[in-house]
């Protein structure tokens, strides 16, 4: 059997390699454009069209590949140009417009000028040009899960196979399934969907469950606002995921698989569907996969997009055509899941790690990371941070390194205040937690969560009560309403937070709020409720003084809360003759004071912030004041002549 699989795979690989070299034609330049959703949002499709147009009919033979997320989302659209046999390694260009794209094609693809003014860096280390690997951040990063993203053509299975793809599957099929489970256990891989449960242990439970039929589901619901790492993999490297699913299916003895993708990810649905089709054609799915006697197939299921459907029991209900509502565990899906059969549910990143582990070995994987958490983790950096976008780091990297060395710190010279980590069910950690090595357990101890890997950086302009309110409002809206404490408790909490941000709460309310938050955590039916209070509990733990200031002094330290702050024009800074603010105010709340200085009529002001944006930066005369008691008395209007 073993040798048959090996030769079937060898044949497959050779076919793919020859088809791929035919396409690439060895010596021809290759142009790659990052057209994942992040690139598209920045205009990558226009860039692509401009490239195709500039190449014209005469140069149709130069391959233009649409690749996935190249990773430097802050500099989208991104274009890679490779000229085999040329002077330079493949070069990466950022902030490319259709006009720049036209220049790049004329000057570098047709000519010899690499147009260094648009260059971000070379894709490989070399003697001539700085490379992306020389960036300080790359000392901290370690790409495993995302290693193919933006580097291979997600729509062409030949590219994946030609670079060794599905080799791990062929290797697994030559092993005993138990040994594949063992290998994953030994690697220390833990689920990347949030909770960090041992992947090998989960597979073992499913494997050991007596049943004539078993399922595997890849959880690609990715409901956290601001999270898009799973989308990046689905759009950029679908075959790694499919390979991981088939290996898991073989190891745990399942016959049928689903990829549960939210319907709001149309490109991901399209690319994964196409990848499955191609895998079927290459006999990597279907009957007797690569000459083995293992048969298995996958279909895509489009989720309706409710956040709670990411919870595994709700997800299963939703595939079965029932309302997407969680039920009590146990039974766990690995014992009793889809249609009552044992079912493995794993996250996209978990499954995409699997081929790497089988390929390079458990010891290699467990050599990366820290203590009980092995391997790498992917973060989506957002908020008040210089380099937004995706990064992948070894577990155990500190928050400080991620935020300052990779993320480039806080822009505009502002101060770091907190990092909100783990999505809406995560927590807000302060400066003092920055040296925490990131892993599932350390974050949980600090009151936050690994979650899906969203990381929102906050600066001194962010009000922590308001941030907690924002995230709680999200989970409250997404609560399915089945269980009492989550349905009514989060609603009561939200009301209390509203009162606090309006300055209408009493200090005792903080005690009720905190007690209720603890009871919701302990008393909810599913993990949505069990984690929903985290943003409130962590801000109460680390930023209690801000809550107290709101209540006690009616003071919002960040001067954000609508009812507790007012706009004020500083008389010493206002240039009397400039009318910018008056002209822009939509409610005519700004008048000219006695001395010609502009004054805001607080009764009319709706705090829309447009005057602040209109005031020329060299004057910078409009500020926010909190508490309202500190607002100076308004100057009477200038007398009309």
Ligand X SMILES: Cc1cc2nc3c(=O)[nH]c(=O)nc-3n(C[C@H](O)[C@H](O)[C@H](O)COP(=O)(O)O)c2cc1C
Residues engaged in binding ligand X (CB under 6 A): 191-195, 197, 219, 221-223, 307-308, 310-312, 345-347, 350, 452, 526-528
Question: Measured from the CB of residue 317, what is the shortest distance to ligand X in angstroms?
Answer: 12
> What sign does the CA torsion over 313, 315, 319, 322 have?
positive
Q: Which residues contact 90 (CB under 8 A, 6 or more apart)?
A: 80, 81, 82, 122, 123, 124
Look up residue 550 and give its two tokens. 């709101």
> What sign does the CA torsion over 392, 393, 394, 395 have?
negative
**Binding flag, residue 304, other proteins (CB under 8 A):** no
Q: Which is nearer to other proteins, 221 or 401 (CB)?
A: 221
Question: Measured from the CB of residue 542, what is the shortest distance to ligand X in angstroms?
Answer: 24
- E strand or H helix at 258, and its extent? strand 256-262
Look up residue 176 and give its two tokens. 């005993």
Question: Measured from the CB of residue 519, what is the shortest distance to ligand X in angstroms?
Answer: 18
Q: Give me the phi and psi of 426, to 5 degrees please.
A: -90, -160
Per-residue CA distances from 608 to 312, 384, 612 (Å) = 42, 21, 9
Question: Measured from the CB of residue 209, what is the shortest distance to other proteins in angstroms?
Answer: 18
Q: Which is nearer to ligand X, 352 or 565 (CB)?
A: 352
Whether the CB-CB separation of 512 and 496 falls below 8 Å is answered with yes
Which segment (36-44, 156-164, 374-382, 514-522) binds other proteins by CB under 8 A?
514-522
Whether the CB-CB separation of 237 and 229 falls below 8 Å is answered with no
For other proteins, the binding residue among 266, 481, 583, 616 (CB under 8 A) is 481
Instruction: State how far the Cα of 531 lies from the Cα of 521, in Å rounded to an integer.
Output: 6
Count of beta carbons in the 10 Å neighbourhood of residue 81 = 23
- DSSP string for residues in 360-396: H-HHHHHTSEETTEESEEEEEEEES-SS-EEEEEETT
Indicate the burial class of 191 (C-beta count within 10 angstroms; 0-12, 13-18, 19 or more).
buried
Scanning residues 306 to 345, which ones bind other proteins (CB under 8 A)? Answer: 306, 323, 327-328
Residue 223 interaction partner, one of other proteins, ligand X, none, beta carbon < 5-8 Å per kind? ligand X
**Binding flag, residue 532, other proteins (CB under 8 A):** no
Instruction: State how far the Cα of 195 lies from the Cα of 392, in Å rounded to an integer.
Output: 18
Number of residues that bind other proteins (CB under 8 A): 28
For other proteins, the binding residue among 171, 482, 559, 560 (CB under 8 A) is 482
Residue 194 interaction partner, one of other proteins, ligand X, none, beta carbon < 5-8 Å per kind? ligand X
**Binding flag, residue 507, other proteins (CB under 8 A):** no
Which segment (42-50, 127-135, 429-437, 472-480) binds other proteins by CB under 8 A?
472-480
Instruction: State how far the Cα of 268 lies from the Cα of 154, in Å rounded to an integer.
Output: 10
Whether the CB-CB separation of 415 and 528 falls below 8 Å is answered with no
Q: Give me the phi and psi of 305, to 5 degrees please.
A: 95, 5
**Binding flag, residue 571, other proteins (CB under 8 A):** no
Question: Measured from the CB of residue 325, what is the shortest distance to other proteins in angstroms?
Answer: 8
Q: Give the distance from CA 213 to its chain's centroid.
A: 34
Instruction: State how far the Cα of 137 lies from the Cα of 407, in Å rounded to an integer.
Output: 8
Which segment (161-169, 456-464, 474-482, 531-539) binds other proteins by CB under 8 A?
474-482
Question: Measured from the CB of residue 520, what is the shortest distance to other proteins in angstroms?
Answer: 8
Name the CA dihedral angle for 447, 194, 224, 401, rounded to a multiple of 10 degrees.
70
Q: Which is nearer to other proteins, 60 or 484 (CB)?
A: 484
Residue 482 interaction partner, one of other proteins, ligand X, none, beta carbon < 5-8 Å per kind? other proteins
**Binding flag, residue 491, other proteins (CB under 8 A):** yes
Residue 485 interaction partner, one of other proteins, ligand X, none, beta carbon < 5-8 Å per kind? other proteins
Instruction: State how far the Cα of 241 lies from the Cα of 272, in Å rounded to an integer.
Output: 9
Question: Measured from the CB of residue 219, what is the shortest distance to other proteins in angstroms?
Answer: 20
Q: Which is nearer to other proteins, 508 or 572 (CB)?
A: 508
Which segment (175-183, 372-380, 383-391, 487-495) binds other proteins by CB under 8 A?
487-495
Q: Which is nearer to ligand X, 177 or 454 (CB)?
A: 454
Residue 165 interaction partner, one of other proteins, ligand X, none, beta carbon < 5-8 Å per kind? none
Count of beta carbons in the 10 Å neighbourhood of residue 28 = 17
Q: Which is nearer to other proteins, 282 or 336 (CB)?
A: 336
Per-residue CA distances from 117 to 56, 105, 121, 415, 506 (Å) = 25, 14, 11, 32, 59
Instruction: State how far the Cα of 83 lies from the Cα of 638, in Å rounded to an integer.
Output: 70
Question: Measured from the CB of residue 260, what is the shortest distance to ligand X in angstroms?
Answer: 9
Residue 222 interaction partner, one of other proteins, ligand X, none, beta carbon < 5-8 Å per kind? ligand X
Instruction: State how far the Cα of 1 lies from the Cα of 285, in Å rounded to an integer.
Output: 18
Residue 476 interaction partner, one of ligand X, other proteins, none, beta carbon < 5-8 Å per kind? other proteins
Question: Measured from the CB of residue 234, what is the shortest distance to ligand X in angstroms?
Answer: 12
Instruction: State how far the Cα of 304 lies from the Cα of 79, in Å rounded to an integer.
Output: 33
Which residues are registered as beta bridge partners of 390? 380
Question: Measured from the CB of residue 174, what is the shortest distance to other proteins in angstroms?
Answer: 41
Best CA proximity match to 369, nearest among 444, 439, 452: 439
**Binding flag, residue 522, other proteins (CB under 8 A):** yes
Q: Which is nearer to ligand X, 161 or 245 (CB)?
A: 245
Question: Measured from the CB of residue 484, what is the shortest distance to ligand X in angstroms?
Answer: 17
Q: Which is nearer to ligand X, 66 or 312 (CB)?
A: 312
For other proteins, the binding residue among 139, 477, 595, 609 (CB under 8 A) is 477
For other proteins, the binding residue among 134, 178, 208, 519 (CB under 8 A) is 519
**Binding flag, residue 441, other proteins (CB under 8 A):** no
> What sign does the CA torsion over 331, 332, 334, 338 have?
positive
For other proteins, the binding residue among 524, 534, 538, 626 (CB under 8 A) is 524
Residue 175 interaction partner, one of other proteins, ligand X, none, beta carbon < 5-8 Å per kind? none
Question: Measured from the CB of residue 326, what is the shortest distance to ligand X in angstroms?
Answer: 7
Question: Measured from the CB of residue 193, what is the shortest distance to ligand X in angstroms?
Answer: 3
Which chain residues interact with other proteins by CB under 8 A? 306, 323, 327-328, 476-485, 487-489, 491-492, 495, 512, 515-516, 519, 522-525
């Amino acid at each position: 059997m073993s040798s048959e699989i090996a030769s079937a795979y060898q044949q497959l690989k050779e076919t793919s390699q020859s088809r791929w070299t035919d396409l690439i034609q060895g010596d021809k330049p290759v142009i790659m454009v990052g057209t994942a959703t992040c690139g598209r949002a920045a205009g990558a499709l226009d860039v692509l069209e401009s490239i195709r147009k500039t190449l014209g009919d005469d140069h149709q033979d130069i391959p233009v590949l649409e690749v996935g997320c190249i990773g430097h989302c802050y500099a989208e659209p991104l274009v890679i140009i490779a000229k085999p046999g040329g002077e330079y390694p493949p070069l990466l260009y950022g902030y490319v417009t259709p006009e720049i794209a036209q220049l790049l094609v004329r000057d570098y693809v047709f000519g010899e000028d690499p147009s260094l003014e648009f260059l971000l860096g070379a894709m490989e280390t070399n003697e001539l040009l700085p490379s992306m690997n020389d960036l300080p951040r790359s000392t901290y990063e370690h790409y495993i899960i995302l290693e193919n993203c933006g580097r291979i053509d997600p729509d062409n299975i030949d590219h994946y196979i030609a670079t060794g793809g599905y080799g791990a599957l062929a290797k697994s099929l030559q092993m005993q399934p138990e040994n594949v489970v063992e290998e994953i256990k030994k690697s220390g891989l833990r689920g990347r969907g949030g909770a960090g449960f041992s992947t090998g242990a989960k597979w073992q439970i499913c494997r050991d469950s007596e049943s004539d039929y078993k399922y595997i589901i890849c959880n690609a619901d990715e409901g956290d606002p601001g999270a898009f790492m799973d989308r990046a993999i689905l759009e950029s490297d679908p075959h790694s995921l499919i390979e991981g699913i088939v290996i898991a299916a073989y190891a745990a003895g399942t016959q049928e698989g689903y990829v549960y993708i939210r319907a709001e990810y149309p490109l991901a649905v399209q690319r994964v569907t196409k990848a499955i089709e191609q895998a079927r054609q290459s006999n990597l799915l279907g009957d007797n996969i690569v000459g083995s006697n293992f048969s298995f197939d996958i279909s895509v299921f489009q989720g309706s997009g409710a956040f709670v459907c990411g919870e595994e029991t709700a997800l299963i209900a939703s595939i079965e055509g029932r309302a997407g509502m969680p039920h009590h565990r146990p039974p766990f899906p690995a014992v009793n899941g889809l249609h009552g059969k044992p079912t493995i549910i794993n996250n996209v990143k978990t499954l995409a790690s699997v081929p790497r582990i089988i390929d390079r070995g458990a010891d290699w994987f467990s050599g990366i990371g820290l203590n009980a958490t092995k391997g790498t983790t992917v973060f989506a950096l957002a908020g008040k941070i210089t380099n937004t976008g995706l990064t992948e780091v070894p577990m155990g990297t500190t928050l400080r390194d991620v935020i300052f060395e990779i993320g480039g710190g806080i822009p505009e010279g502002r101060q770091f205040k907190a990092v909100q980590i783990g999505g809406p069910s995560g927590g807000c950690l302060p400066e003092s937690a920055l040296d925490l090595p990131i892993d599932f357990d350390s974050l949980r101890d600090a009151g936050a969560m690994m979650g899906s890997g969203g990381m929102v950086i906050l600066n001194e302009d962010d009000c922590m009560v308001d941030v907690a309110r924002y995230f709680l409002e999200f989970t409250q809206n997404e609560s399915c309403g089945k269980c009492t404490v989550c349905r009514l408790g989060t609603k009561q909490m939200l009301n209390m937070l509203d009162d606090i941000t309006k300055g209408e709460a009493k200090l005792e309310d903080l005690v009720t709020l905190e007690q209720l938050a603890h009871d919701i955590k302990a008393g909810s039916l599913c993990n949505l409720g069990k984690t929903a209070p985290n943003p409130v509990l962590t801000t109460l733990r680390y930023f209690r003084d801000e809550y107290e200031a709101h209540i006690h002094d009616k003071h919002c330290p960040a001067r954000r809360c609508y009812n507790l702050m007012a706009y004020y024009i500083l008389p010493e800074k206002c240039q009397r003759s400039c009318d910018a603010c008056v002209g822009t105010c939509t409610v005519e709340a700004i008048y000219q004071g006695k001395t010609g200085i502009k004054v805001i009529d607080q009764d009319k002001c709706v705090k829309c912030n447009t005057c602040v944006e209109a005031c020329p930066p060299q004057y910078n005369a409009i500020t926010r004041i909190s508490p309202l008691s500190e607002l100076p008395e308004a100057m009477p209007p200038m007398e009309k002549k």
